[in-house]
Structure 1
């Protein structure tokens, strides 16, 4: 073999190895583990991105913002870092829901609505001037197409009438209907505040 050609092959091989090392480092640096033979490796990343969902009537239904979206094709799950969900079709004042992390889950049956699982300091707020509400819990399932949320974790609900604690909750946000759940060691309790006289 020509000595020059041999040196060229060595240089090319070293370049390919270096490129592979750099790519692997970048994947790890982005917070995504690189596992040999992983059959559910992510296929899509989005950083500081926004997803908008429109209804059949062309109106905006909800918006999902997150610091990072990562989609895993085998399970069809999308993980979220610092998600913020805005539900736009709930009356005149939209709800905003934030958490530390979350997952967009695939439908369990055909034609089922999308589900979003949120975890870590979940806060749902409606900031309307007439009837502001806040809901705080450690975990929450959101069905954005139905404007429905639920949790089996302890929850605190605060509004102009006072503060309510419960062991779990189901909430239909359109009509503002709540079903609160209690347990033996954590009953549903409400602390009502006196109504303020108008100025």
Structure 2
């Protein structure tokens, strides 16, 4: 009987202590979890902030830093060499937006490339169209003669090998300055066509 009473007493004590043990275990778990979260808070938040800043406000689907793109024709000759310090890719519309794009366009004649620079660029990859905007500058060299074209917007149609704009353009070379409203140029043929309101001022060769 005495042994049975001891056993019953121990059982009651164990049952009485279980809630306390559960509470103690829960408290330890909560403290440990809080400690781990506190310990891991700083780096993830900092990394998240850095990643968000790098990704940018436009939240692209992807981006490239210091991108370099080269396109070749069917014979393996360079057609376009394109660079940008930042290119943002958007899946919707298969669109790429570029900062300070620079492009070299090579014609079939083997002469020096056309060089294009702008503040911003947008590449519509489905149509192979590159739209340049903001202080667009095109430099082309034929022999010893260099000509510079300045405008506010310009479209490069890579499929057709054309560049064109409806904005006013100013062309400067060693002979003088030409202004017009809109232009088209064929890269391979090195032909430039001015649309309207053409006026020029040229130096007389002595």
- TM-score, normalised relative to structure 2: 0.77
- Aligned partners of 2:35 and 2:152: how far apart in 1? 54
Unmatched 5+ stretches in structure 2: 1-24
CA distance in 1: counterparts of 2:100 and 2:88, whole angstroms: 12
Q: CA deviation at 1:83?
A: 0.7
Equivalent position of 1:74 in the other structure? 92
Please give the alpha-carbon distance, in whole angstroms, between the structure 2 residues aligned to 1:160 and 1:24. 54
Query: Deviation at 1:152?
Result: 1.2
> For the residues of structure 1 that align with 2:142 and 2:34, how far apart are their CA atoms?
68
SS in 2 for 1:74: coil
Structure 1 counterpart of 2:17 = none
Q: Does 1:95 align with 2:114?
A: yes
The unaligned stretches of length 5 or more in structure 1 are: 35-40, 109-113
Return the alpha-carbon distance in structure 1 between the equivalents of residues 106 and 81 of structure 2: 8
Residue pair 1:90, 1:147 contacting (<8 A) in 2 also: no
Q: How far apart, in 1, do the equivalents of 2:174 and 2:188 lie?
A: 18
Shift of 1:24: 4.0
Larger Rg: 2
**Superposed CA offset, 1:59-86 (max 9, x none):** 2211110011110112211111111001
| Structure with the larger helix share | 2
Residue equivalent to 2:139: 125
1:139-178 correspondence to structure 2 within 5 Å: 139-178=153-192
**CA apart distance, 1:128:** 4.5
1:149 Cα shift? 0.6
Q: Secondary structure at the match of 1:195?
A: coil
User: Once the 2 structures are TM-superposed, how far is the Cα of residue 143 of structure 1 from its aligned partner?
Assistant: 1.9
Q: Tell me which moved more, 147-156 or 4-13.
A: 4-13
Aligned residues: 181
Distance 1:23 1:74 in 2: 27
Equivalent residue for 1:50? 68
Please tell me the root mean square deviation across aligned C-alpha atoms, in Å: 2.3
- Specify whether residues 179 and 89 from structure 1 end up closer, same or farther in structure 2 by C-alpha distance, changes over 3 A only: closer
Q: Distance in 2 between matches of 1:33 and 1:15?
A: 29
Distance 2:186 2:158 in 1: 11
Measure, in 2, the Cα distance between the counterparts of 1:11 and 1:25. 22
Q: Where does residue 50 of structure 2 map in the other structure?
A: 26
> Kindly tell me: are residues 191 and 16 of structure 1, through their superposed partners in 2, closer, same or farther at Cα, counting changes over 3 Å?
same
Report the counterpart of residue 104 of structure 2 in structure 1.
86
State the match for 1:38 in structure 2: none
